[in-house]
């Protein structure tokens, strides 16, 4: 496990692509369990270890995540997320060249629980929620564009659905796109929040694995 930062209240780690956040039907070693096992072993804690899951990344997506080590930290981090006080930025490689070098996307989305899939919807659709993000084109290479995405809301599969909706699916996203197969080119590279106890501004950055296609195109 790649630990970026740790103190008595929080632990920030780099999630591997294709690792589940929580235990699922695959029974693969999930990140939440991995963090609990690490804390249990390092601090020789008996019984169940508390680790608060306050936000998520899709299984295929790698990047930075913060976990709470106390219930107080979990509550305060969750409140920041609910109030959109946490900055979450992503790098993504999408199919095609964008018509604008920077823009915002705003849609109403709903999640089909039975299919575990999200869709763009009319705002009057039952349970539809507003989804907002902004992006800047960093580079283009052939038929692909590298985007810097600032996520303003945290809807299920939001980035993947919104870019597919405008005809620029994310590389490797076979669920919402029809591009080349491979690891999905979506990476949570920046996470910024207020420390739940000290009040200090915490900002973390990481880079995707540039050895895995299509990232070498933008090295």
Range of the structural domain that residue 142 is part of: 2-218
Average confidence (pLDDT) over 71-84: 96
Instruction: Say what the pLDDT of residue 180 is.
Output: 66
Burial class (CB in 10 A: 0-12, 13-18, 19+), 77: buried
Identify the residue with better confidence: 219 or 146.
Answer: 146
Position 96 pLDDT exceeds 70: yes
- Tell me the range of 5-14, 39-48, 175-184 where mean pLDDT is highest: 5-14
pLDDT interval class at 24 (50, 70, 90): confident
Domain with residue 19: its CATH number is: 3.30.2350.10
Return mean pLDDT, the chain.
Answer: 94
Q: Report whether pLDDT(37) > 80.
A: yes
Quick one: average pLDDT of 63-84? 96
Query: Tokens standing for 144?
Result: 């692909």
Does pLDDT of 129 surpass 90?
A: yes
Beta pairing, strands 2-6 & 10-15 = antiparallel
Alpha helix (H) ranges present in the chain?
31-42, 71-82, 158-165
Task: Tell me the per-residue pLDDT of 174-202, one tens digit each, with 9 for 90 and over.
Answer: 899 876 677 899 999 999 999 999 999 99
pTM of the model: 0.93
pLDDT over 80 at 167, yes or no:
yes
| Structural domain count, the chain | 1
Q: For residue 179, what pLDDT is reported?
A: 65
For residue 211, pLDDT beyond 70: yes
Q: Which residue has the tokens 């849609």?
A: 107
Q: Please, are residues 135 and 146 in contact by the beta-carbon 8 Å criterion?
A: no
Identify the residue whose tokens are 């945290």: 154
> 8 with 18: CB under 8 angstroms?
no
Q: What is the pLDDT of residue 23?
A: 86
């Amino acid at each position: 496990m790649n630990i970026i930062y740790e103190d008595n209240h929080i632990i920030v780690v780099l999630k591997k692509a294709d690792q589940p956040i929580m235990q699922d039907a695959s029974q693969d070693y999930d990140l939440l369990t991995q963090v609990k096992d690490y804390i249990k072993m390092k601090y020789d804690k008996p019984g169940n270890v508390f680790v608060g899951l306050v936000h998520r990344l899709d299984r295929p997506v790698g990047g930075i995540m913060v976990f709470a080590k106390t219930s107080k930290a979990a509550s305060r981090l969750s409140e920041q997320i609910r109030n959109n006080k946490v900055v979450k930025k992503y790098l993504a490689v999408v199919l095609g060249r964008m018509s604008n070098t920077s823009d915002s996307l705003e849609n109403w989305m709903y999640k089909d629980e039975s299919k575990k899939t999200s869709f763009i919807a009319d705002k009057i659709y039952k349970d539809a929620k507003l989804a907002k993000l902004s992006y800047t084109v960093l580079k283009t290479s052939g038929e692909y564009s590298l985007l810097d995405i600032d996520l303003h809301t945290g809807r299920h599969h939001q980035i993947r659905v919104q870019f597919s909706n405008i005809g620029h699916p994310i590389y490797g996203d076979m669920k919402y796109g029809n591009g080349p197969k491979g690891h999905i080119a979506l990476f949570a590279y920046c996470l910024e929040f207020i420390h739940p106890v000290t009040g200090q501004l915490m900002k973390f950055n990481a880079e995707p694995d540039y050895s895995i296609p299509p990232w070498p195109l933008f090295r």
